[in-house]
Every structure is written in structure tokens, then in C-alpha cells.
Chains A and B, each alone.
Chain A
């Protein structure tokens, strides 16, 4: 088997240049590639275009990159949880492209499936449709949306093997598998790195062909954004 293992986050992101377009998996703070984000913060890579459903919070996730002014542009569906983000947006320091969540996911999917574009009804008749080609199928309008073109995709999985096969856990799966398919170079950090043969081929979510670098992550904080519980009766 081809061995995709790298030593850690620092090596995994070493060649991401200033100005790169990167995808980052996760929904809110759930399933984000914590190790790689920290490494990008340490390296202070600049002028990044980040494709990610959300933009982290002030002191965690992509929020850490925003704080250091590393992000030129965010492409997201919902960005409400971050005061520094808001400040940079209102002052014009940060470019933001807000797109529907399903459009975001499916533009990743298209890239991973080798399709140049998709048609979706999301945003028809709204400002999202401005300047976009519209096609009518069976009496309903659809917007043409292009597949993403990302230099790197950075994802977080639960388990991965040395060949880059990945398994995700619970709803931390979210955008991770579709982004893993969509990067020209895909980096996967995993909670548990295992030898080939340890994962059942029937239970692989992302086949290793999509993954170029995999490493054993460490010190996962896995912060919870909205801790909600019910009382014991």
C-alpha cells in the first residue's frame, strides 16, 4: 500500500503558500482540523482564501487565523459567532462570500466527482442569483454553480490508516468527506492512526485515493459551542 503518513501538522501544511485557497472541514467547532489550524497560525501563512461552513469563534478554530489577519477571504454559509470576524468585515479588511449551505457542500461534491458545475434551486429569486446563469428544468428554475477549485483541503477524521482511508465519527463527519474529495492536495488529521488492514474496507467513508497526507493528531480540545443538557427527572 502507498504510505501517506507525515510526521505531524507542521509537515502536513509546510508547502501551503501565502495566497492559497484552502478548504477546512467542520460544522461550527465540530470536526474541525484543530492541529492543522494551529500549525497554520504558528507558521502565519497569509492572504488565505478559506472555504469553510463557519469561521470559528474568537479564540478557537478559524477565529485564531482571523485574529492574526491571515485570511483574505472567507467562503461560508454562516459566520455569526465571531466578534473579530464582524470587525474585519465591517472595516473592509476581510472579504466574505456567503453562500447557501447545500450549495457549499455540493460544490465540494462536484469537485470530488469531477463535475465542473451543478444546478441548484437554492437562491433563485434572491441576491445569491445575481449574475448567475439560470436554467429551467421541468418548469423550475435552477442556478448554475461551479465546482470549487481548492489548492488544499484539510479535514479531520476519527480513524485513518496509513494508506489514507478515513472513517468519521458521528456528526463530526459533516463537510469533511466532501472536502476531502475536493482538494488538489488533501490533508487528513486523525484521532487514531492505524496500520493498513485494521479498518474494514466496507466501513471506509473516504477512500485513501482522495487523501495525500495523513497524520496522528494530538491534544484535541473538541470544544462545544452550545452545551445543552436535559435534567434527570
Chain B
């Protein structure tokens, strides 16, 4: 059975280690915050200028001055800090943020990512995505393995305008966990429970590297 979005988020949460500073993008990455194990301490960075992002406020306690990069009302936590946009991207560029998790339209077998522009459609902009992918030392992409038309999003080469080059380290989809090899290629690490290696092969247009027996993903 392929994973749900929540299960993809839950699987990615296992990649987060105690003491990490983490930036979560919009979409499935946002859900990862719900699955951080209670016994580890991490700090969420929001690139509009906050370290220590807390949960949504209770109704009636929303503060228009306190939002995340998705413009949602949020809260701070004990130990949070606020800073301006230049410092926010300064700490990203200087690789102080340990892990970045973001969504993508396409990822290529050499680690390129496209997630900001579809030619011919309204372009909203790259926001902070290009800064994050250009500098982050560890980037995990959370996305569906195939698009709505049934076409693979894991490609030999991206067809959409790029957000960054040779920057993605790992991809988690509803079907599989894969890392990107330094010499290129998606190495299959885990498969969703009940999903066959052949099924993943068919859903992956880029070069797929299969070494040995591939275990099923677990969430705990």
C-alpha cells in the first residue's frame, strides 16, 4: 500500500536528529512537525525571521504580527528568537540550518530540483526556495512519486525551470525512500509496505539503482 501524505511526513520525521535546526517548506513538509518524537529537541526555522516556531495559536489568540513563511498565524516557544530577513537567509547561507525539507515538482537523478515555475502558467515566484536549495547541507524532498497525469517526477533530467542544481540528497515519496548518489542515480533504500520493486521501477523515469534486498519502510 502506498503511503499517505501523513505517512510520508511521518517517515521523514525519522530523519530528524536531536539538536537539529530544521526548515520545513509548504505542503507535506509542514506535516513533519506533527511527528517529531517527544524525546528529541529540535528547533524549527521559519525564513521570515523566526527560530523556535511553535504550534498554531488557540482561537482568539492569533497575533497578526506573528506568522510563518506560509503566512499562517503561529506561536513562539520558550527560547524562540526573532530576526530580520537578511539574518534569516544569512544563517541559511552559512549552513547553520541542519536540514531542509521541501516539496518538488521534479527531481533529477543528479540532484537537480524544479519546484517554482511552470512555463505558460502564472508564476508566483521562488520565495526562499532558491536560497535554501543553494546553501542547505542536507535537503530531503517530500513529494508524490508521479504527477496527476501519471508521469514520473523522478527524472533523468528536469524538464521544468530549475530551482537549484545538484543539491538534493534524499527523496521520500508515497512509494519509496531513495537517496541520490554522488555519481548520479536514485538508489532505492526502502519501499512502502506491499509496494514491489518492479512497481517502483515503472514509476521512476530516472536511473534507479537497486542493491540487494530492499526493506519495507517503517514509521516507528
Mask, B150-170, CB within 8 Å of A = 1, is 000000000001111110000
Q: Are A126 and B57 in contact (CB under 8 A)?
A: no
For residue A86, which residue of chain B has the nearest CB? B122
A78:B89 contact, CB within 8 angstroms:
no
A126/B164 contact (C-beta < 8 A), A170-B63, A170-B82 known: yes
Identify which of residues 190-233 in chain A touch chain B, using a CB-to-CB cut-off of 8 Å: 205, 222-232
Complex Cα–Cα for A105 and B92 (A): 13
Within 8 Å of chain B (Cβ to Cβ): is A177?
A: yes
Are the C-beta atoms of A171 and B134 separated by less than 8 Å? no
Decide if B161 touches A126 in the complex (CB within 8 Å): yes
Among candidates A101, A104, A170, residue contacting B66 with C-beta atoms closer than 8 Å: A170
B70 close to A174 (CB less than 8 A): no
- Assess whether A162 is interfacial by the CB under 8 Å rule: no
CA A79 to CA B163, docked complex, whole Å:
17
Interface residue total, chain B, C-beta cutoff 8 A: 54
| Also in contact, A78 and B48, with CB within 8 A (given A125-B162, A175-B84, A229-B57) | no
Closest beta carbon of chain A to B75's beta carbon, Å: 9
B59 at the interface (CB under 8 A from A): yes
Interface 9-residue window, one of A1-9, A12-20, A61-69, A116-124: A116-124
Judge whether A77 and B72 touch: CB under 8 Å. no
Number of A residues contacting the other chain (C-beta, 8 Å)? Answer: 58
Which among A106, A128, A173 has the highest number of chain B CB atoms within 10 Å?
Answer: A173
A30 to B122, CA, bound (A): 24
What residues on A are CB-neighbors of B38 within 8 Å? Answer: none
Binding site secondary structure of chain B: loop
Within A66-117, which residues are at the interface with B (CB < 8 Å)? Answer: 76-80, 86, 89-90, 98-106, 108-109
Q: Is the pair A98, B126 in contact by a Cβ cutoff of 8 Å? A: yes
A-B pairs with beta carbons under 8 A, tally? 176
Least distance between A62 CB and chain B CB atoms (Å): 14
Docked-complex contact B71 and A28, CB < 8 angstroms: yes
The one of B56, B82, B128, B162 in contact with A126, judged by C-beta atoms closer than 8 angstroms, is B162
A residues near B70, Cβ cutoff 8 Å = 226
A86 to B85, CA, bound (A): 25
Complex CA distance for A177 and B86, rounded to whole angstroms:
9
Measured between alpha carbons, how far is A68 from B151 in the docked complex, in Å?
43
A169 within 8 A of B: yes
B124 an interface residue at 8 Å Cβ cutoff? Answer: yes
B165 touches A105 (CB 8 A): no
Known contacts A102-B89, A178-B84: A169-B65 contact under CB 8 Å:
yes
Contact indicator A123/B134 (Cβ below 8 Å)? yes
Check A229–B73 contact: CB distance below 8 A: yes
Report the minimum CB–CB distance from A158 to chain B (whole Å): 8
A122 to B116: give the CA distance in the assembly, Å.
13
Q: Which residues of the partner chain A approach B162 to less than 8 Å between Cβ atoms?
A: 125-127
A residues adjacent to B (C-beta < 8 A): 27-31, 53, 76-80, 86, 89-90, 98-106, 108-109, 120-128, 158, 168-178, 205, 222-232
30 A-B residue pairs with CB within 8 Å? A27-B67, A28-B71, A31-B65, A77-B125, A77-B126, A77-B128, A78-B125, A78-B126, A79-B125, A80-B125, A89-B122, A98-B125, A100-B127, A101-B47, A105-B84, A120-B134, A121-B93, A121-B134, A125-B164, A126-B130, A171-B48, A173-B49, A174-B48, A177-B86, A222-B64, A226-B72, A228-B72, A228-B73, A229-B56, A229-B73
- Supply 10 further A-B pairs (C-beta < 8 A) apart from A122-B130, A125-B162, A125-B164: A29-B71, A78-B127, A100-B127, A101-B47, A103-B131, A105-B84, A105-B88, A121-B135, A173-B82, A229-B73
